[in-house]
Amino acid sequence: MGKIVNRMIVILAICALMSGVALAKVKSRVVTFGQDFIVGSTVVKKGTYKLVFDDQTNELTIMEKKTVIAKAHARLEKRTSSTLGLDIKFVADGDRQVLSSVAFPGDDRSIVISDGGGQTAKS
């Protein structure tokens, strides 16, 4: 009887540890950009990319097929309302456009890129 109870406790402990992984939400969307833009210190050329946000690591990743083009640290900020479509915002830095935030359809939170948090991922 004691072995069964010990096994059940171990199984419950494993389930509790794994529940944090199960709660992680990764959102992604394929987007076509008509202009070059900056993410952190990386220039992303116009084209079609997959935007992926992982709320566990707070990282926004920009991928071309399976290649990571750029990564940036980001944070979630509450919006006043959810958006029906994809909402992407840029800020001007001289003659360049810098990605500042992304909001996925139906979400009431924006993914805001942290200043200086980007890193080059493509060599």
Q: What is the pLDDT of residues 21-64, one digit of tens each?
A: 445 588 889 999 999 999 988 999 999 999 999 989 999 999 99
CA 122 to chain centroid, in Å, comes to: 17
Q: Give pLDDT tens digits for 45-55.
A: 999 999 999 98
User: Which pTM was predicted?
Assistant: 0.70
Q: Using CA atoms, how far apart are residues 27 and 86, in angstroms rounded to an integer? A: 12
Domain boundaries, the chain: 26-120
The pLDDT score that the predictor gives to residue 122 is: 42
pLDDT above 70 coverage of the chain, percent: 74
> Average pLDDT for residues 9-16, to the nearest whole number?
62
